[in-house]
Amino acid sequence: MKKRIIVVGNGMVGYKFCEKLRNRSTTVDIVVYGEEPRPAYDRVHLSSYFSGSTAEDLLMAPAEWYTDNNIVLHTGELVTEINRIDKTIRTHTGRSDKYDYLVLATGSSAFVPAIEGVERHGVFVYRTIEDLVQITEYAKKVKRGAVMGGGLLGLEAAKALLDLGLETHVVEFAPRLMPRQIDDAGSDILAGKLSQLGITIHTGKSTKKIEGNGKLEGLLFADDTKLDIEMLVISAGIRPRDELAKATLLNVHPRGGIVVDDYMRTTDESIFAIGEAAVHNNMVYGLVAPGYDMADIVARQVTGDSSKSFTGFDMSTKLKLIGVDVGSFGDPFCDATPHIPIVFKNKHKGTYKRINISEDGKYLLGGILIGDAGQYNILHQMVMNKMPLPENPETLIVGGGGKANDEAAGVKGLPDTAQICSCENITKGAIVEQVTSCGARTIDDLKKSTKACTGCGGCTPMVNDLLKITLESLGHTVKKTLCEHFNYTRQELYDIIKVKGIKSYDQLLNTHGAGDGCEVCKPAVASLLASIWNDVILKEDTIQDSNDRFLANIQRGGTYSVVPRIAGGEITPQKLSAIGRIAEKYNLYTKITGGQRIDMFGARVDQLPDIWEELIAEGFESGHAYGKSLRTIKSCVGSTWCRYGVQDSVSFAVFVEERYKGLRAPHKLKGAVSGCIRECAEAQSKDFGIIATEKGWNLYVCGNGGARPQHAKLLVADVDTDTCIKYIDRFLMFYIRTADPLTRTATWLNKMEGGLEYLYDVVVNDSLGIGEELERDMAALIANYHCEWKKVVEDPKLRAKFKHFINSEEEDATIQYVDMRGQKAPIDWNK
């Protein structure tokens, strides 16, 4: 007789149990009851709902998956009663169902502290998609919000409020953020990074009362200070959903949660509990990975396999909170363990790294990473597998350790039993076996065969390293092909296109590719064609990016911005007046950019050619603000006006920008020219920067602003103008020829074998003998330059593409604006 397993709860762990059980047996009956109105969805990435993901995007599997796997799924149905004697359950609709085994995967609910006023309108929890929908709707009516709780979920909720456009505060009872994962110093760095993003942090605050008259108006703290807000999201922890277990007299922990043994059995041998509802050895596990492990153990149990038991779980974690890397592994604090801490702290860059090593200096015990968690995977493995430390353990976090600090080399030294993917409990040996014995050759192959990389995704870099190392050990030549449609690297495709004179994507696909192409190769090839031939980008049918498609940056609300080129930031009063007149005519919002230009926002797509036509008539041309191309050459006023200037930085900046304008590359390019070492143009934060000296110019390369700022490195010093230009030509063409798609110059240099010394040999010493060729290629691109806006204005066929509706000349009537300090601005994103 077939066994009948009923699963109560259809969250991530409940779904994973069904998947694992069905993989082990096709004969058991599986019935699932979920109280939410949809199948299981990904709570780990819940905050992506606010950045464009839909409820369907978050689904673990669609409803059809359950049908295809012969699993009966009841959604929107709450189990309210268990009869252990008859082995039946009853739901709130009156449905009764019989089981042989019952699996309680009821998860947890948000903990709401007993604070006066917690029932007021405007107070929410952050737990389900329905919660998110309510938060989104209420946020449309208010301007200031706060999150109660500075842990993992609390900071995710803060990101949500930030995405909704609210002034955002985080209130934490403990004296630091994420008190279970990071120490005081790490919290200070994290708080600083979050403050830069516009989040106000309040630590050491006990909320005494939620104030308001019917609806929320503010928080009153125990120290009698107040915080005026209009909305509150409570994320102060979780409480296991154990009400069913209590009602049926199963053993429940005094602090909540269904008590289970090492096989996830409750005090009734026919009933199991898994995930956040379960308490094992006085511990509730709030991460998905241990829940998946519990699901696997129960799937084995109900099919007669008792070979695996639950012995606890490593709670190391790595995630990106509001764009900031945060990781903690092993024992992050070592409060009860003798240890030697090694700490690296960089307040300027917002990074903090701490490792705890054993007193004898042999082993790594744990640590914390803030701002840069690139070493997390290998450090975590060193703890888990008691791998010996290098002679100088500080190199693990500050660099300079050679092979001992190389993550790929570290992966090679792991034992086969090392757990690589914690979500699916996949070992190094299992991954290697898939490559050596089962024919896996790509990450996608490994995802399908092992499920590694399909959970949180944190193991992907290590799996990738393992794949590469194993393939090389088998004698395979490993190269980074563009995608499945082209068995070539970007650099190889560059050479093929250039040598064979290929002018279109279809021609390249037909002669050197396979299939129909994809979202990876189409824009990459379009970029290559533009970088090699500098032809009209709109002639390419494979453009994927809407910014390139309409030669303008799409903005919130569906309108576009127009950025004409203002070389070196120098502009005549007549041109300045023209921009003002045109912006006023088309009612555009205007703003000075960080690159010394004027950005005009709010143009409809059908207005773009008309605006460009007027700008061109005034002597302007495209600033290429929308493309992976040269953006700006920033300048100071130099010796023309400044008392300290030693060279004419403005004239040189204008010359450099005019020379390289329209240059398409693997990623955007920014430059600057400073007239003296006071560096007012910030040249050392650019892809290439020029700083005047008494003898000529210093040329810096491969700098980077943005989320991961990096200073440019000095390539040559005190060179004359012609030599400086020659080296820039060579540098830019070598970058265009060899960089991977969407790779900034800083990352390109960081990955380059030999680093700056090698780059110097190529550009200055011409060690590859291609210097003159690079200069000729640059000269050809410069000669082929055209203003893309002008091409559209003058070509009726291209101009006809600029309309909102394919078969109509009507305007987009859905675009709405509000007044902002005397100019228009789009309405709130969610309105």
pLDDT for 484 equals 76
What is the rounded radius of gyration, in angstroms, for the C-alpha atoms of the chain? Answer: 30
Residue 522 has pLDDT above 50, yes or no: yes
Most confident of 207-216, 257-266, 376-385, 822-831: 257-266
Continuous H helices in 76-128:
none
Q: What is the average per-residue pLDDT within 747-770?
A: 91
Share of the chain above pLDDT 90, in %: 64
Least confident piece of the model among 20-34, 211-225, 563-577, 817-831? 817-831
Given this model, what pLDDT does residue 402 score?
Answer: 41
Structure tokens at 784: 């082929």
| Contact assessment for residue 396 and residue 425, using Cβ atoms and an 8 Å cutoff | no
CA distances from 466 to 317, 431, 437, 438, 762 (A): 21, 8, 15, 15, 32
Contact 487, 481 (CB under 8 A): yes
One-letter amino acid for residue 184 of the chain: D
Predicted pLDDT at 324: 84
Which tokens go with 488?
């070539």
Six token digits for residue 519: 């979202």
The 10s digit of each residue's pLDDT in 608-655 is 999 999 999 999 999 999 889 999 999 999 999 999 999 999 999 999
Quote the pLDDT of residue 401.
46
pLDDT at 827: 79
Identify which of 330, 399, 398 has the alpha carbon closest to the alpha carbon of residue 367. Answer: 330
When comparing pLDDT for 87 and 816, which is higher? 87
DSSP output for 118-160: TTSBTEEE-SSHHHHHHHHHHHTT-SEEEEE--SHHHHHHHHH
**Which of 618, 623, 632, 614 is closest to 551 using CA atoms?**
623
Judging by beta carbons within 10 Å of its beta carbon (0-12, 13-18, 19+), is residue 535 exposed, middle or buried?
A: middle
Residue with tokens 């390539």: 715
Q: Quote the pLDDT of residue 568.
A: 93
Copy the structure tokens of residue 315: 């709670």
Calculate the CA dihedral of residues 211, 214, 217, 223 and round it to 10 degrees: 0
How far apart CA 195 and CA 345 sit, in angstroms, is: 18
Q: How many residues does the chain have?
A: 831
Tokens of 609: 């050619």
First to last CA, the chain: 56
C-alpha 404/C-alpha 334 separation (Å) is 24
Choose the weakest-confidence range: 18-22, 251-255, 794-798.
794-798
pLDDT for the residue numbered 399: 62
**Ordered alpha helix ranges (H), 565-708:** 573-585, 608-617, 638-641, 649-660
- Record the tokens describing residue 286, joined without a space: 């709030």
Mean pLDDT of 400-404: 42
Q: Give, in order, the Cα–Cα distances in Å from 303 to each of 46, 76, 494, 671.
A: 33, 28, 55, 65
Task: Give residue 395's pLDDT.
Answer: 85
Q: What is the pLDDT of residues 81-120, one digit of tens each?
A: 999 999 999 999 999 999 999 999 999 999 999 999 999 9
Q: What is the chain's mean pLDDT, rounded?
A: 90
Strand 426-427 versus strand 419-421 pairing type: antiparallel
445, 390 Cβ separation under 8 angstroms: no
**Tokens of residue 747, six digits:** 């990352």
Average pLDDT of the segment spanning 413-425: 84
Lowest mean pLDDT among 229-238, 436-445, 517-526, 800-809: 800-809
pLDDT at 524: 86
Q: Show the tokens assigned to 629.
A: 């191309």
Strands (E), 130-270: 144-148, 167-172, 199-203, 207-213, 215-221, 226-228, 231-234, 238-240, 258-259
Mean pLDDT across 60-68:
94
Whether residue 526 has pLDDT greater than 90: no
Band of pLDDT at residue 759, cut at 50, 70 and 90: very high
CA distance linking residue 420 with residue 381, whole number of Å:
8
Enumerate residues 6+ apart whose C-beta is below 8 A from 400.
Answer: 392
> What does DSSP assign to residue 302?
H
Q: Is 245's pLDDT higher than 80?
A: yes
Query: Do residues 698 and 714 make contact, with C-beta atoms less than 8 angstroms apart?
Result: yes
**d(C-alpha 352, C-alpha 368), whole Å:** 8
Higher pLDDT, 238 or 47: 238
> Has this prediction a pTM greater than 0.95?
no
Q: Where are the alpha helices (DSSP H) in 683-741?
A: 721-738
Least confident window among 89-93, 287-291, 517-521, 600-604: 517-521
Residue 338 identity: P
Q: Has residue 724 got a pLDDT over 90? A: yes
Confidence of residue 280 (pLDDT cuts 50, 70, 90): very high
pLDDT tens column, 172-222: 999 999 998 999 999 999 999 898 888 999 999 999 999 998 889 999 999
Is residue 264 within 8 A of residue 249, CB to CB? The reply is no
Give the separation between CA 56 and CA 65, rounded to whole angstroms: 13
Residue with tokens 């900034």, as numbered in its chain: 744
Give CA–CA dist 85/268, Å, rounded: 10
Distance, CA of 71 to CA of 448 (rounded, Å): 21
Residue 463's identity, in one-letter code, is V
Q: How confident is the model at residue 73 (pLDDT cuts 50, 70, 90)?
A: very high
Q: At 459, is the pLDDT very low, low, confident or very high (cuts 50, 70, 90)?
A: confident
Q: What pLDDT, on a 0 to 100 scale, did the predictor assign at position 13?
A: 96
For residues 166 and 170, what is the distance between their CA atoms, to the nearest angstrom? 12
Say if residues 455 and 424 touch (Cβ distance below 8 Å): yes
- Count of CB atoms within 10 A of residue 7's CB? 30
Flag whether pLDDT at 405 surpasses 50: no
CB of 184 within 8 A of CB of 344? Answer: no
Which single residue is written with the structure tokens 């820039």? 728
Angle between helices 428-436 and 460-473 (to 10 degrees): 40
Do the beta carbons of residue 171 and residue 219 sit within 8 Å?
A: yes
- Here the tokens at position 274 are 């898994």
Q: Return the SS3 of 106.
A: coil
| Residue 597 near residue 564 (C-beta atoms within 8 A) | yes
| pLDDT for res 160 | 87
Angle, vertex CA 397, rays to CA 396 and CA 400, nearest 5: 65
pLDDT at 406: 45
Mean pLDDT, range 662-686, rounded to an integer:
94
Q: Which of 176-190, 258-272, 408-422, 438-452 has the lowest mean pLDDT?
A: 408-422
Name the residue among 262, 265, 288, 240 with its Cα closest to residue 41. 288
Confidence class for position 541, pLDDT limits 50, 70, 90: low
Comparing 49-63, 122-136, 471-485, 698-712, the range with the smallest average pLDDT is 471-485
Q: Cα–Cα distances in Å, from 536 out to 34, 504, 531, 551, 800? A: 55, 12, 11, 11, 16
